[in-house]
A and B are shown apart, each in its own frame.
Chain A
Amino acid sequence: GAVVSQHPSWVICKSGTSVKIECRSLDFQATTMFWYRQFPKQSLMLMATSNEGSKATYEQGVEKDKFLINHASLTLSTLTVTSAHPEDSSFYICSAPRTSGRLGQYFGPGTRLTVT
């Protein structure tokens, strides 16, 4: 069935380096995907809406130059955390709409980023 995958599932990187997280829709096309960030024991915070073939729409307070989003195809969106710092350590989750908004969304399994 239709699912959303993320890669990697967890990553540890050094401060100052960049990390790319992939979000793929399997068995369906997603012109829109959403990227969320989740701090420990907290709810999901929407970071941006990724649109295939156009620029992402970022939420207020999210640095677009730090969190680069590219939606190059109908099945792949990537989030690159540039010049990562320890405060960027978090759980990043992507999602894609089901065929109808009334059916909810498919969520990826999440990527845990730890910046040392």
Chain B
Amino acid sequence: GDSVTQMEGPVTLSEEACLTINCTYTATGYPSLFWYVQYPGEGLQLLLKATKADDKGSNKGFEATYRKETTSFHLEKGSVQVSDSAVYFCALNLDASGNTPLVFGKGTRLSVIA
């Protein structure tokens, strides 16, 4: 079945360090790919998305490129801030109609220290 695998956390970085959170997927078709962020005590917010191969999603300094050849969608940021501390979820959706739930990775907790 469809699945998402993302790197285990927690990840602890100093402010202004570079961030990469790896995400790979297994899917029978051509999924849309997403990164969601969850701040402490809150629900999930869409961080960025990509709907086809070679698309690059970007938002708030974060980027991820849909790599079909490696079935990956790694999240990157060049300089993290303390406010980036959160849990990050990689997810996919095969259904263009949206009537099926997202398939989530297990989440990666990021802590950024000043």
Chain A positions within 8 Å of B, measured between CB atoms, are: 6, 31-32, 34, 41-44, 46, 49, 93, 95, 97-105, 107-110, 112
Chain B positions within 8 Å of A, measured between CB atoms, are: 32, 34, 36, 41-46, 49, 51, 89, 91, 93-102, 104-107, 109
Q: Contact between B96 and A109 (Cβ–Cβ < 8 Å)?
A: no
Q: Contact between A101 and B96 (Cβ–Cβ < 8 Å)?
A: yes
Q: Contact between B109 and A41 (Cβ–Cβ < 8 Å)?
A: yes
Q: Contact between A108 and B43 (Cβ–Cβ < 8 Å)?
A: yes
A99 to chain B, nearest CB (A): 7
Q: Contact between B34 and A104 (Cβ–Cβ < 8 Å)?
A: yes
A50 to chain B, nearest CB (A): 11
CB within 8 Å for A43 and B98 given contacts A93-B44, A107-B44:
no
